[in-house]
Amino acid sequence: MLITQKRLATIIISSSLLMVQSVYAADWTEKVTIRGFASAVYQQTDDPVFFNGDCAREFADNGSGVVVAQPCANSTDPGTVNGVTPANGGINEDGSFRRTRIGLNINANINERVTLQTQFLVLEEEDEYKMHLDWGFISVGLNDNNTVRAGELRLPVGLVNEFQSVGFSFPWIEAPQLFYTSDFNGPNVTRESYRGLNYLWQGYADDWAFTTEIFYGDIALEGMSLNGMFGATLKAEWDDAVYAQASTYSGKMLYEPRMAAMLGETHQVSTFGMGGDLSSFLFYAEYAHVTMGMDVQESNAWYTSVGYQFEEITLMLTYQDMTKGDVAGVDDALKNSQTMSSASLRYDFAYNTALKFELSQIDTEKGVGLFAAGATTDLKPADSVNMFGMALEVLF
């Protein structure tokens, strides 16, 4: 039987593809790296009102800046407090494992200049565990100092923001909650990722390393979207021991923001932080200022954390402060002010495995802070609430 030229070409192409696939199958381990992490977390307060949850409650503005919160679920469900169920409420006196999570990083070297980086995260959402793409982007190295990236990117705002899901990477059970929270009632400083573009420059001089990131895109906020976000981050690091970072970004708030008066307004964020590890002495400190188009939503958040590492044992003391709407012209009833003091102990009892314990005191000076008690008819938390936490962290 004669083989036509077209048929011959098809055979040659198919054979070539099989050969290529065999080559890739043989060396995929050299091109792909897989890493993972897991955190088993338990936290409990001595108050019935949920703290720092992820309930997607609907809010309405009564025209004077007062927010009325709607229930997350039927108020007759067991364990419901202020219309918030344990499944999406946060932490209260009944205890919660909601911060338990498992993550997987899969990175692939496409060629000498292009890489693909991803992080998948599995965590509990509404009574079941779900997997979602935390971030995933293509990185193109222009040369040794310049890189362009595109996709779902890590937002470079905050000292630990780009790895805050990886509990093993820092000494606390969670990154400071009054600063890094995604709760709308918080300062709205940062999120872990955004969709867009990023330009990265890295340079070195003696013992110093410098990084500049310029980023553009959209970021999902709770109940709204931040569009046309543009920002920059500058970072300097000395001798792999001490580092400082400054960031700023802004964008337009669109798509049904929590308050109608915020629609089309600018969300502006500025942060500065320092951290380091000097002869086993650890320290972190960050400050952020946020404006969202309304005086009642203007926020300041900061924290400082210091500690010492005794071989396998690390002790940390942390103080956090968040104020919201604390400006002239805002009624005292609409102001929000909360502080949090914590003592953390970390024990690295095995390779890439750490056990953590944490005691915290949450003081609410004005408003309700991160407690789920936004409606006027809600049960309010005590002025001072104690919280206990423990976590088992692994890296693999």
Helix residue ranges per DSSP H, the chain: 5-31, 86-89, 177-180
Q: What local confidence, expressed as pLDDT, does residue 19 receive?
A: 46
Cβ partners under 8 Å of residue 331, min gap 6: 65
Closest alpha carbon to 185 in 49, 311, 26: 49
Residue-wise pLDDT for 36-82, tens only, equals 999 999 999 999 999 998 765 555 555 555 455 555 555 667 888 88
Map out the domains of the chain as residue ranges: 29-395
- Residue 8 is predicted with a pLDDT of 43
Instruction: Name the E strands within 255-331.
Output: 266-278, 281-291, 299-310, 313-324
The confidence score (pLDDT) of residue 183 equals 85
pLDDT at 89: 77
List phi, psi (to 5°) of 355.
-115, 130
Residues in the chain predicted with pLDDT less than 50, given as ranges, are 1-9, 11-13, 16-17, 19-20, 23, 26, 66
- pTM score, two decimals? 0.88
Nearest CA to 371 out of 79, 50, 45, 46 is that of 50
Cα(106)–Cα(115) distance, integer angstroms:
11
| pLDDT (0 to 100) of residue 225 | 85
Q: 385: which 2 tokens?
A: 């609430």
Strand partners, 44: 388
Domain 29-395 is found in CATH 2.40.160.10: yes
What pLDDT is attached to residue 138?
98
